[in-house]
Structure 1
Protein backbone atom coordinates (compact mmCIF):
# COMPACT_ATOMS: atom_id res chain seq x y z
CA UNK A 1 0.00 0.00 0.00
CA UNK A 2 1.20 3.51 -0.79
CA UNK A 3 1.80 6.25 1.75
CA UNK A 4 -1.00 8.74 2.38
CA UNK A 5 0.34 12.27 1.93
CA UNK A 6 -1.01 15.48 3.44
CA UNK A 7 0.35 19.01 3.24
CA UNK A 8 3.04 18.49 5.90
CA UNK A 9 2.88 14.80 6.69
CA UNK A 10 3.35 11.31 5.33
CA UNK A 11 1.09 8.64 6.79
CA UNK A 12 3.16 5.52 6.23
CA UNK A 13 1.45 2.11 6.50
CA UNK A 14 3.51 0.19 9.02
CA UNK A 15 5.05 -3.12 7.99
CA UNK A 16 5.60 -6.05 10.31
CA UNK A 17 9.37 -5.42 10.31
CA UNK A 18 8.86 -1.74 11.17
CA UNK A 19 6.43 -2.62 13.96
CA UNK A 20 8.91 -5.12 15.39
CA UNK A 21 11.60 -2.41 15.45
CA UNK A 22 9.24 0.06 17.15
CA UNK A 23 8.37 -2.51 19.84
CA UNK A 24 12.08 -3.24 20.34
CA UNK A 25 12.96 0.47 20.31
CA UNK A 26 15.70 -0.22 17.78
CA UNK A 27 15.54 1.71 14.50
CA UNK A 28 16.77 -0.01 11.37
CA UNK A 29 19.17 1.49 8.86
CA UNK A 30 16.38 3.19 6.92
CA UNK A 31 14.23 4.30 9.88
CA UNK A 32 14.27 8.00 10.69
CA UNK A 33 12.89 8.67 14.15
CA UNK A 34 12.52 12.08 15.76
CA UNK A 35 13.90 12.28 19.32
CA UNK A 36 11.30 10.77 21.65
CA UNK A 37 9.89 8.36 19.06
CA UNK A 38 8.61 5.79 19.69
CA UNK A 39 6.75 6.64 22.88
CA UNK A 40 4.56 4.29 24.92
CA UNK A 41 1.54 4.86 22.64
CA UNK A 42 3.55 4.10 19.51
CA UNK A 43 4.81 0.87 21.08
CA UNK A 44 1.25 -0.11 22.05
CA UNK A 45 0.00 0.61 18.51
CA UNK A 46 2.84 -1.45 17.01
CA UNK A 47 2.13 -4.34 19.40
CA UNK A 48 -1.58 -4.26 18.53
CA UNK A 49 -0.69 -4.27 14.83
CA UNK A 50 1.62 -7.28 15.30
CA UNK A 51 -1.12 -9.11 17.23
CA UNK A 52 -3.56 -8.48 14.38
CA UNK A 53 -1.00 -9.70 11.84
CA UNK A 54 -0.38 -12.88 13.85
CA UNK A 55 -4.12 -13.56 14.21
CA UNK A 56 -6.51 -12.75 11.40
CA UNK A 57 -3.73 -11.36 9.18
CA UNK A 58 -2.30 -8.03 8.13
CA UNK A 59 -5.17 -5.52 8.43
CA UNK A 60 -3.68 -2.97 6.00
CA UNK A 61 -5.00 -0.65 4.74
CA UNK A 62 -6.99 -0.63 8.00
CA UNK A 63 -3.99 -1.00 10.27
CA UNK A 64 -1.34 1.21 11.84
CA UNK A 65 0.43 4.16 10.22
CA UNK A 66 3.56 6.02 11.21
CA UNK A 67 3.14 9.80 11.12
CA UNK A 68 6.22 11.27 9.44
CA UNK A 69 7.06 14.89 8.71
CA UNK A 70 7.48 15.53 5.00
CA UNK A 71 10.24 18.09 5.64
CA UNK A 72 12.67 15.56 7.10
CA UNK A 73 10.96 12.14 6.92
CA UNK A 74 11.21 11.64 10.69
CA UNK A 75 8.55 9.61 12.50
CA UNK A 76 6.76 11.74 15.11
CA UNK A 77 3.86 9.49 16.11
CA UNK A 78 1.31 7.05 14.92
CA UNK A 79 -2.34 6.63 14.09
CA UNK A 80 -4.55 4.03 12.63
CA UNK A 81 -7.59 1.86 12.75
CA UNK A 82 -8.15 -0.41 15.72
CA UNK A 83 -9.78 -2.90 13.37
CA UNK A 84 -11.03 -3.18 9.79
CA UNK A 85 -14.57 -1.90 9.17
CA UNK A 86 -17.34 -4.20 10.42
CA UNK A 87 -20.34 -5.32 8.35
CA UNK A 88 -22.01 -1.94 8.89
CA UNK A 89 -18.91 -0.10 7.61
CA UNK A 90 -17.80 1.17 11.04
CA UNK A 91 -14.26 1.28 12.36
CA UNK A 92 -12.39 2.87 15.28
CA UNK A 93 -9.36 5.18 15.15
CA UNK A 94 -6.59 6.14 17.53
CA UNK A 95 -3.61 8.47 17.30
CA UNK A 96 -0.69 9.88 19.29
CA UNK A 97 2.22 12.25 18.77
CA UNK A 98 5.46 12.53 20.69
CA UNK A 99 5.25 15.41 23.20
CA UNK A 100 7.83 17.63 21.48
CA UNK A 101 5.65 18.12 18.36
CA UNK A 102 2.24 18.55 19.95
CA UNK A 103 0.34 21.80 19.50
CA UNK A 104 1.37 22.32 15.86
CA UNK A 105 -1.73 20.90 14.17
CA UNK A 106 -0.05 17.64 13.13
CA UNK A 107 -2.61 15.41 14.89
CA UNK A 108 -5.55 17.18 13.23
CA UNK A 109 -3.87 17.05 9.83
CA UNK A 110 -3.03 13.36 10.20
CA UNK A 111 -6.53 12.49 11.40
CA UNK A 112 -8.14 14.42 8.53
CA UNK A 113 -5.95 12.51 6.09
CA UNK A 114 -6.89 9.16 7.58
CA UNK A 115 -10.60 10.08 7.64
CA UNK A 116 -10.44 11.11 3.97
CA UNK A 117 -8.85 7.78 3.15
CA UNK A 118 -11.51 5.89 5.14
CA UNK A 119 -14.35 7.67 3.38
CA UNK A 120 -12.83 7.06 -0.06
CA UNK A 121 -12.44 3.38 0.88
CA UNK A 122 -16.18 3.13 1.56
CA UNK A 123 -16.16 3.32 5.34
CA UNK A 124 -19.53 4.60 6.60
CA UNK A 125 -18.61 5.56 10.19
CA UNK A 126 -15.43 6.19 12.18
CA UNK A 127 -15.44 6.44 15.95
CA UNK A 128 -12.86 7.40 18.55
CA UNK A 129 -12.70 8.16 22.24
CA UNK A 130 -10.66 10.18 24.68
CA UNK A 131 -10.44 10.65 28.43
CA UNK A 132 -12.66 13.38 29.84
CA UNK A 133 -9.68 15.55 30.77
CA UNK A 134 -7.88 15.20 27.41
CA UNK A 135 -9.24 18.40 25.91
CA UNK A 136 -6.44 18.53 23.32
CA UNK A 137 -7.58 15.23 21.81
CA UNK A 138 -11.21 16.37 21.94
CA UNK A 139 -10.23 19.49 19.97
CA UNK A 140 -8.33 17.37 17.42
CA UNK A 141 -11.31 15.12 16.73
CA UNK A 142 -13.69 18.09 16.50
CA UNK A 143 -11.33 19.98 14.16
CA UNK A 144 -11.07 16.88 11.94
CA UNK A 145 -14.86 16.78 11.58
CA UNK A 146 -15.80 14.26 14.25
CA UNK A 147 -18.68 15.12 16.59
CA UNK A 148 -19.46 14.17 20.20
CA UNK A 149 -21.32 10.85 20.28
CA UNK A 150 -21.78 10.20 24.00
CA UNK A 151 -19.73 9.54 27.08
CA UNK A 152 -19.42 7.25 30.04
CA UNK A 153 -17.70 7.62 33.40
CA UNK A 154 -14.26 7.19 31.78
CA UNK A 155 -14.30 8.60 28.22
CA UNK A 156 -15.99 10.84 25.68
CA UNK A 157 -16.88 9.30 22.34
CA UNK A 158 -16.64 11.00 18.95
CA UNK A 159 -17.84 9.89 15.52
CA UNK A 160 -18.10 10.94 11.92
CA UNK A 161 -20.73 9.45 9.63
CA UNK A 162 -21.07 9.45 5.88
CA UNK A 163 -24.42 8.61 4.33
CA UNK A 164 -22.76 6.73 1.50
CA UNK A 165 -19.40 6.25 -0.05
CA UNK A 166 -18.20 9.32 -1.99
CA UNK A 167 -18.97 9.41 -5.70
CA UNK A 168 -16.29 7.85 -7.88
Structure 2
Protein backbone atom coordinates (compact mmCIF):
# COMPACT_ATOMS: atom_id res chain seq x y z
CA UNK A 1 0.00 0.00 0.00
CA UNK A 2 1.43 3.38 -1.02
CA UNK A 3 1.87 5.62 2.03
CA UNK A 4 0.42 9.02 2.79
CA UNK A 5 2.23 12.07 1.48
CA UNK A 6 1.99 15.19 -0.64
CA UNK A 7 0.82 13.31 -3.71
CA UNK A 8 -2.20 11.98 -1.80
CA UNK A 9 -3.19 15.48 -0.72
CA UNK A 10 -2.79 16.79 -4.27
CA UNK A 11 -4.88 13.93 -5.65
CA UNK A 12 -7.69 14.63 -3.21
CA UNK A 13 -7.62 18.39 -3.80
CA UNK A 14 -7.56 18.05 -7.60
CA UNK A 15 -10.60 15.77 -7.57
CA UNK A 16 -12.51 18.01 -5.18
CA UNK A 17 -11.81 21.23 -7.08
CA UNK A 18 -12.70 19.66 -10.42
CA UNK A 19 -16.08 18.51 -9.13
CA UNK A 20 -17.00 21.64 -7.20
CA UNK A 21 -16.01 23.87 -10.11
CA UNK A 22 -19.00 22.47 -12.01
CA UNK A 23 -21.25 24.16 -9.44
CA UNK A 24 -19.18 27.29 -8.80
CA UNK A 25 -21.81 29.52 -10.36
CA UNK A 26 -24.46 28.52 -7.85
CA UNK A 27 -25.33 30.04 -4.48
CA UNK A 28 -23.26 28.23 -1.84
CA UNK A 29 -24.23 30.54 1.03
CA UNK A 30 -27.80 29.31 1.44
CA UNK A 31 -27.21 25.62 0.65
CA UNK A 32 -26.50 23.36 3.62
CA UNK A 33 -23.54 20.98 3.24
CA UNK A 34 -25.12 17.55 3.60
CA UNK A 35 -25.68 16.56 7.23
CA UNK A 36 -23.59 19.43 8.54
CA UNK A 37 -25.00 22.57 10.09
CA UNK A 38 -22.66 24.57 7.85
CA UNK A 39 -23.35 26.11 4.46
CA UNK A 40 -21.43 24.85 1.44
CA UNK A 41 -19.55 28.15 1.32
CA UNK A 42 -18.44 27.93 4.96
CA UNK A 43 -17.47 24.28 4.47
CA UNK A 44 -15.26 25.17 1.51
CA UNK A 45 -13.53 27.86 3.54
CA UNK A 46 -13.11 25.37 6.38
CA UNK A 47 -11.27 22.96 4.06
CA UNK A 48 -8.82 25.68 3.06
CA UNK A 49 -8.33 26.64 6.71
CA UNK A 50 -7.55 23.07 7.70
CA UNK A 51 -5.04 22.57 4.90
CA UNK A 52 -3.07 25.70 5.76
CA UNK A 53 -3.30 24.96 9.50
CA UNK A 54 -1.78 21.51 9.02
CA UNK A 55 0.99 22.98 6.89
CA UNK A 56 1.61 25.57 9.62
CA UNK A 57 1.85 22.93 12.34
CA UNK A 58 4.55 21.02 10.51
CA UNK A 59 6.45 23.98 9.08
CA UNK A 60 6.44 25.76 12.44
CA UNK A 61 7.33 22.59 14.38
CA UNK A 62 4.53 23.40 16.83
CA UNK A 63 4.57 20.92 19.72
CA UNK A 64 2.30 22.36 22.44
CA UNK A 65 -0.70 23.89 20.66
CA UNK A 66 -1.99 25.10 17.31
CA UNK A 67 0.00 27.92 15.71
CA UNK A 68 -2.15 30.98 16.53
CA UNK A 69 -3.17 32.14 13.08
CA UNK A 70 -6.10 31.70 10.71
CA UNK A 71 -6.83 32.22 7.05
CA UNK A 72 -9.20 35.04 6.07
CA UNK A 73 -10.60 35.43 2.56
CA UNK A 74 -10.89 38.88 1.02
CA UNK A 75 -14.31 40.46 0.97
CA UNK A 76 -16.09 39.69 -2.27
CA UNK A 77 -14.26 36.43 -2.89
CA UNK A 78 -16.40 34.25 -5.17
CA UNK A 79 -16.81 30.51 -5.20
CA UNK A 80 -14.32 30.05 -8.04
CA UNK A 81 -11.77 32.03 -6.02
CA UNK A 82 -12.44 29.88 -2.95
CA UNK A 83 -11.56 26.85 -5.03
CA UNK A 84 -8.32 28.55 -6.02
CA UNK A 85 -7.56 29.04 -2.32
CA UNK A 86 -8.24 25.35 -1.66
CA UNK A 87 -5.86 24.44 -4.48
CA UNK A 88 -3.21 26.80 -3.11
CA UNK A 89 -3.45 25.65 0.50
CA UNK A 90 -3.41 22.05 -0.69
CA UNK A 91 -0.20 22.76 -2.62
CA UNK A 92 1.33 24.39 0.45
CA UNK A 93 0.52 21.37 2.61
CA UNK A 94 1.87 19.01 -0.04
CA UNK A 95 5.12 20.98 -0.27
CA UNK A 96 5.46 21.02 3.52
CA UNK A 97 4.94 17.26 3.70
CA UNK A 98 7.68 16.69 1.12
CA UNK A 99 10.21 18.82 2.99
CA UNK A 100 9.47 17.73 6.56
CA UNK A 101 11.77 15.03 7.97
CA UNK A 102 10.02 11.81 8.93
CA UNK A 103 10.86 12.12 12.65
CA UNK A 104 9.23 15.54 13.05
CA UNK A 105 6.00 15.44 15.04
CA UNK A 106 3.75 18.44 15.54
CA UNK A 107 0.80 19.11 17.81
CA UNK A 108 -2.60 17.66 17.10
CA UNK A 109 -4.97 17.07 20.01
CA UNK A 110 -6.33 13.62 19.25
CA UNK A 111 -5.56 11.22 20.66
CA UNK A 112 -1.91 11.52 21.72
CA UNK A 113 -1.24 15.24 21.09
CA UNK A 114 1.01 14.77 18.06
CA UNK A 115 1.22 13.51 14.49
CA UNK A 116 4.01 13.02 11.97
CA UNK A 117 3.95 14.00 8.31
CA UNK A 118 2.03 10.84 7.34
CA UNK A 119 -0.59 11.65 9.95
CA UNK A 120 -1.03 15.21 8.74
CA UNK A 121 -1.21 13.99 5.15
CA UNK A 122 -3.96 11.55 6.10
CA UNK A 123 -5.87 14.16 8.10
CA UNK A 124 -5.62 16.73 5.32
CA UNK A 125 -6.75 14.19 2.74
CA UNK A 126 -9.65 13.13 4.97
CA UNK A 127 -10.79 16.74 5.42
CA UNK A 128 -10.89 17.20 1.65
CA UNK A 129 -12.66 13.93 0.89
CA UNK A 130 -15.28 14.17 3.62
CA UNK A 131 -16.16 17.82 3.22
CA UNK A 132 -16.28 17.53 -0.55
CA UNK A 133 -18.82 14.77 0.04
CA UNK A 134 -20.78 17.12 2.31
CA UNK A 135 -20.82 19.92 -0.26
CA UNK A 136 -21.60 17.55 -3.13
CA UNK A 137 -24.55 16.15 -1.18
CA UNK A 138 -25.89 19.64 -0.58
CA UNK A 139 -25.39 20.70 -4.18
CA UNK A 140 -26.80 17.49 -5.66
CA UNK A 141 -23.51 16.37 -7.21
CA UNK A 142 -22.20 12.82 -7.50
CA UNK A 143 -18.86 12.31 -5.79
CA UNK A 144 -16.81 9.16 -5.29
CA UNK A 145 -13.05 9.52 -4.82
CA UNK A 146 -10.58 6.76 -5.76
CA UNK A 147 -10.86 3.64 -3.60
CA UNK A 148 -7.08 3.52 -3.05
CA UNK A 149 -7.12 7.04 -1.65
CA UNK A 150 -9.89 6.18 0.81
CA UNK A 151 -8.16 2.93 1.80
CA UNK A 152 -4.94 4.84 2.55
CA UNK A 153 -6.81 7.25 4.84
CA UNK A 154 -8.49 4.37 6.67
CA UNK A 155 -5.21 2.47 7.13
CA UNK A 156 -3.43 5.62 8.28
CA UNK A 157 -5.75 7.22 10.85
CA UNK A 158 -8.66 4.79 11.30
CA UNK A 159 -6.74 1.72 12.53
CA UNK A 160 -9.66 0.71 14.75
CA UNK A 161 -12.11 0.46 11.81
CA UNK A 162 -12.50 -2.76 9.82
CA UNK A 163 -11.75 -1.67 6.22
CA UNK A 164 -14.40 -3.73 4.40
CA UNK A 165 -14.66 -4.19 0.65
CA UNK A 166 -15.69 -0.62 -0.22
CA UNK A 167 -13.23 1.87 1.31
CA UNK A 168 -15.28 4.96 0.41
CA UNK A 169 -18.51 3.65 1.95
CA UNK A 170 -16.52 2.49 4.97
CA UNK A 171 -14.97 5.93 5.44
CA UNK A 172 -18.37 7.59 5.18
CA UNK A 173 -19.80 5.13 7.72
CA UNK A 174 -16.84 5.60 10.09
CA UNK A 175 -17.43 9.36 10.13
CA UNK A 176 -21.21 9.23 10.61
CA UNK A 177 -22.02 10.04 7.00
CA UNK A 178 -23.67 6.83 5.84
CA UNK A 179 -24.87 3.36 6.68
CA UNK A 180 -23.02 0.11 6.22
CA UNK A 181 -24.72 -3.27 6.16
CA UNK A 182 -24.08 -5.23 9.32
CA UNK A 183 -22.63 -2.30 11.27
CA UNK A 184 -24.45 -0.01 13.70
CA UNK A 185 -24.73 3.71 12.89
CA UNK A 186 -21.83 5.89 14.03
CA UNK A 187 -22.85 8.93 16.08
CA UNK A 188 -19.45 9.91 17.52
CA UNK A 189 -16.06 9.40 15.92
CA UNK A 190 -12.41 10.42 15.94
CA UNK A 191 -9.47 9.47 13.83
CA UNK A 192 -6.41 8.12 15.65
CA UNK A 193 -2.82 9.13 15.01
CA UNK A 194 -0.22 6.62 16.19
CA UNK A 195 1.08 6.42 19.74
CA UNK A 196 4.75 7.37 20.24
CA UNK A 197 6.54 6.70 23.54
CA UNK A 198 9.91 8.21 24.55
CA UNK A 199 12.38 5.52 25.64
CA UNK A 200 15.74 7.06 26.48
CA UNK A 201 17.79 7.16 23.27
CA UNK A 202 14.82 5.70 21.38
CA UNK A 203 11.23 6.44 20.53
CA UNK A 204 8.72 3.61 20.30
CA UNK A 205 6.56 4.46 17.31
CA UNK A 206 3.23 2.74 16.88
CA UNK A 207 3.01 0.85 13.57
CA UNK A 208 -0.14 1.74 11.64
CA UNK A 209 -1.96 -0.77 9.42
CA UNK A 210 -0.54 1.10 6.43
CA UNK A 211 3.02 0.63 7.71
CA UNK A 212 2.28 -2.98 8.69
CA UNK A 213 1.16 -3.74 5.14
CA UNK A 214 4.52 -2.57 3.83
CA UNK A 215 6.50 -4.54 6.42
CA UNK A 216 4.48 -7.71 5.91
CA UNK A 217 5.07 -7.47 2.15
CA UNK A 218 8.83 -7.27 2.59
CA UNK A 219 9.18 -3.47 2.50
CA UNK A 220 10.42 -0.98 5.07
CA UNK A 221 7.00 0.20 6.27
CA UNK A 222 8.10 3.80 5.84
CA UNK A 223 10.97 3.45 8.35
CA UNK A 224 14.70 3.92 7.68
CA UNK A 225 16.11 0.63 8.95
CA UNK A 226 19.60 0.09 10.25
CA UNK A 227 21.66 -2.66 8.62
CA UNK A 228 19.65 -5.51 7.21
CA UNK A 229 16.52 -4.73 9.27
CA UNK A 230 13.80 -5.31 9.97
CA UNK A 231 14.20 -8.67 11.67
CA UNK A 232 11.76 -11.41 10.61
CA UNK A 233 10.00 -11.23 13.96
CA UNK A 234 8.95 -7.65 13.21
CA UNK A 235 7.61 -8.67 9.80
CA UNK A 236 5.67 -11.56 11.36
CA UNK A 237 4.21 -9.24 14.01
CA UNK A 238 3.24 -6.74 11.29
CA UNK A 239 1.46 -9.51 9.38
CA UNK A 240 -0.51 -10.39 12.53
CA UNK A 241 -1.39 -6.73 13.04
CA UNK A 242 -2.61 -6.47 9.45
CA UNK A 243 -4.72 -9.61 9.85
CA UNK A 244 -6.32 -8.18 13.01
CA UNK A 245 -6.99 -4.88 11.23
CA UNK A 246 -8.67 -6.59 8.30
CA UNK A 247 -10.81 -8.57 10.76
CA UNK A 248 -11.81 -5.42 12.64
CA UNK A 249 -10.26 -6.49 15.96
CA UNK A 250 -7.03 -4.44 15.90
CA UNK A 251 -6.48 -2.32 19.01
CA UNK A 252 -3.71 0.18 18.16
CA UNK A 253 -2.41 0.62 21.72
CA UNK A 254 -1.86 -3.13 22.01
CA UNK A 255 -0.15 -3.51 18.65
CA UNK A 256 3.41 -3.24 17.31
CA UNK A 257 5.98 -0.47 17.80
CA UNK A 258 9.15 0.28 15.89
CA UNK A 259 12.27 1.12 17.90
CA UNK A 260 13.70 4.29 16.36
CA UNK A 261 16.95 5.95 17.45
CA UNK A 262 16.64 9.62 18.30
CA UNK A 263 20.14 10.44 17.08
CA UNK A 264 19.57 9.56 13.44
CA UNK A 265 15.97 8.37 12.98
CA UNK A 266 17.07 4.83 12.10
CA UNK A 267 14.74 1.98 13.07
CA UNK A 268 16.62 -0.72 14.97
CA UNK A 269 13.95 -3.22 15.99
CA UNK A 270 10.37 -3.97 16.89
CA UNK A 271 8.43 -4.54 20.09
CA UNK A 272 4.78 -5.16 20.75
CA UNK A 273 2.01 -7.02 22.45
CA UNK A 274 0.58 -10.38 21.47
CA UNK A 275 -2.87 -8.95 22.03
CA UNK A 276 -4.97 -6.98 24.47
CA UNK A 277 -4.93 -7.89 28.20
CA UNK A 278 -6.77 -11.10 29.03
CA UNK A 279 -9.51 -11.46 31.62
CA UNK A 280 -6.97 -11.67 34.42
CA UNK A 281 -5.20 -8.49 33.30
CA UNK A 282 -2.18 -10.27 31.79
CA UNK A 283 -0.59 -9.04 28.60
CA UNK A 284 2.30 -10.68 26.73
CA UNK A 285 5.11 -8.74 25.10
CA UNK A 286 7.74 -9.66 22.50
CA UNK A 287 10.63 -7.85 20.83
CA UNK A 288 13.56 -8.16 18.45
CA UNK A 289 16.57 -6.07 17.48
CA UNK A 290 18.63 -5.90 14.31
CA UNK A 291 22.08 -7.35 14.82
CA UNK A 292 23.89 -4.07 14.12
CA UNK A 293 22.10 -2.39 17.06
CA UNK A 294 22.67 -5.06 19.71
CA UNK A 295 24.82 -4.49 22.77
CA UNK A 296 23.71 -0.89 23.41
CA UNK A 297 20.84 -1.48 25.85
CA UNK A 298 18.15 -0.62 23.32
CA UNK A 299 16.09 -3.76 23.88
CA UNK A 300 16.18 -3.31 27.66
CA UNK A 301 15.11 0.34 27.42
CA UNK A 302 12.28 -0.50 25.05
CA UNK A 303 11.06 -3.39 27.19
CA UNK A 304 11.11 -1.25 30.34
CA UNK A 305 9.26 1.58 28.65
CA UNK A 306 6.50 -0.43 27.01
CA UNK A 307 6.01 -2.60 30.12
CA UNK A 308 5.69 0.49 32.31
CA UNK A 309 3.20 1.99 29.88
CA UNK A 310 1.11 -1.20 30.00
CA UNK A 311 1.20 -1.47 33.79
CA UNK A 312 0.00 2.10 34.04
CA UNK A 313 -3.29 1.01 32.45
CA UNK A 314 -6.03 0.09 34.91
CA UNK A 315 -6.88 -3.11 33.05
CA UNK A 316 -3.32 -4.53 33.30
CA UNK A 317 -2.01 -6.42 36.33
CA UNK A 318 1.08 -8.09 34.84
CA UNK A 319 3.27 -8.27 31.74
CA UNK A 320 4.58 -11.61 30.48
CA UNK A 321 7.69 -12.23 28.36
CA UNK A 322 8.96 -15.54 26.97
CA UNK A 323 12.25 -16.64 25.46
CA UNK A 324 14.18 -19.77 24.51
CA UNK A 325 16.46 -21.26 27.20
CA UNK A 326 19.47 -20.98 24.87
CA UNK A 327 18.87 -17.28 24.16
CA UNK A 328 21.13 -15.90 26.88
CA UNK A 329 21.08 -12.35 25.51
CA UNK A 330 17.28 -12.19 25.59
CA UNK A 331 17.20 -13.67 29.09
CA UNK A 332 19.60 -10.94 30.23
CA UNK A 333 17.43 -8.22 28.68
CA UNK A 334 14.33 -9.53 30.45
CA UNK A 335 16.16 -9.72 33.77
CA UNK A 336 17.54 -6.18 33.46
CA UNK A 337 14.01 -4.94 32.76
CA UNK A 338 12.93 -6.26 36.17
CA UNK A 339 11.03 -9.40 35.20
CA UNK A 340 11.07 -12.47 37.46
CA UNK A 341 10.81 -16.13 36.36
CA UNK A 342 7.46 -17.95 36.38
CA UNK A 343 6.41 -21.34 35.07
CA UNK A 344 7.03 -21.65 31.32
CA UNK A 345 5.65 -24.00 28.71
CA UNK A 346 6.48 -25.66 25.39
CA UNK A 347 10.22 -25.52 26.01
CA UNK A 348 10.25 -21.75 26.67
CA UNK A 349 11.16 -19.78 29.76
CA UNK A 350 8.54 -17.34 31.03
CA UNK A 351 9.03 -14.15 33.03
CA UNK A 352 6.57 -11.76 34.62
CA UNK A 353 6.54 -8.12 35.68
CA UNK A 354 3.73 -7.08 38.01
CA UNK A 355 2.33 -3.67 38.73
Q: Could you tell me the TM-score, scaled by structure 1's length?
A: 0.90
Map 1:60-75 onto structure 2 (within 5 A).
60-75=252-267
2:148 matches 1:148: no
Identify unmatched segments of 5+ residues in structure 2: 1-193
> Bigger radius of gyration, 1 or 2?
2
* Residue 52 (structure 1) shift: 1.7
Choose the corresponding residue for 2:322, options 126, 129, 137.
129
Greater percentage in helix: 2
Map 1:1-168 onto structure 2 (within 5 A).
1-27=194-220, 30-122=222-314, 123-152=316-345, 154-162=347-355
List, as ranges, runs of 4+ consecutive aligned residues in structure 1 with deviation greater than 6 Å: none
Contact 1:25–1:38 (Cα < 8 Å) also in 2: no
Q: Give the whole-Å Cα distance in 1 for the aligned partners of 2:223 and 2:291.
A: 20
CA RMSD between the two structures: 1.4
Number of matched pairs: 161
Greater percentage in strand: 1
Q: Give the whole-Å Cα distance in 2 for the aligned partners of 1:89 and 1:56.
A: 22
Contact 1:38–1:98 (Cα < 8 Å) also in 2: yes
Q: Give the whole-Å Cα distance in 2 for the aligned partners of 1:131 and 1:19.
A: 26
Q: Which has the higher contact order (CA 8 A, sep 6+)?
A: 1
Q: Give the whole-Å Cα distance in 2 for the aligned partners of 1:85 and 1:152.
A: 19
Q: Give the whole-Å Cα distance in 2 for the aligned partners of 1:9 and 1:87.
A: 32
* Residue 88 (structure 1) shift: 1.6
Q: Give the whole-Å Cα distance in 1 for the aligned partners of 2:353 and 2:248.
A: 26
Q: Give the whole-Å Cα distance in 1 for the aligned partners of 2:346 and 2:272.
A: 25
Contact 1:52–1:58 (Cα < 8 Å) also in 2: yes
Corresponding residue for residue 166 of structure 1: none
Contact 1:67–1:79 (Cα < 8 Å) also in 2: yes
Contact 2:195–2:253 (Cα < 8 Å) also in 1: no
* Residue 56 (structure 1) shift: 4.2
Q: Could you tell me the TM-score, scaled by structure 2's length?
A: 0.44
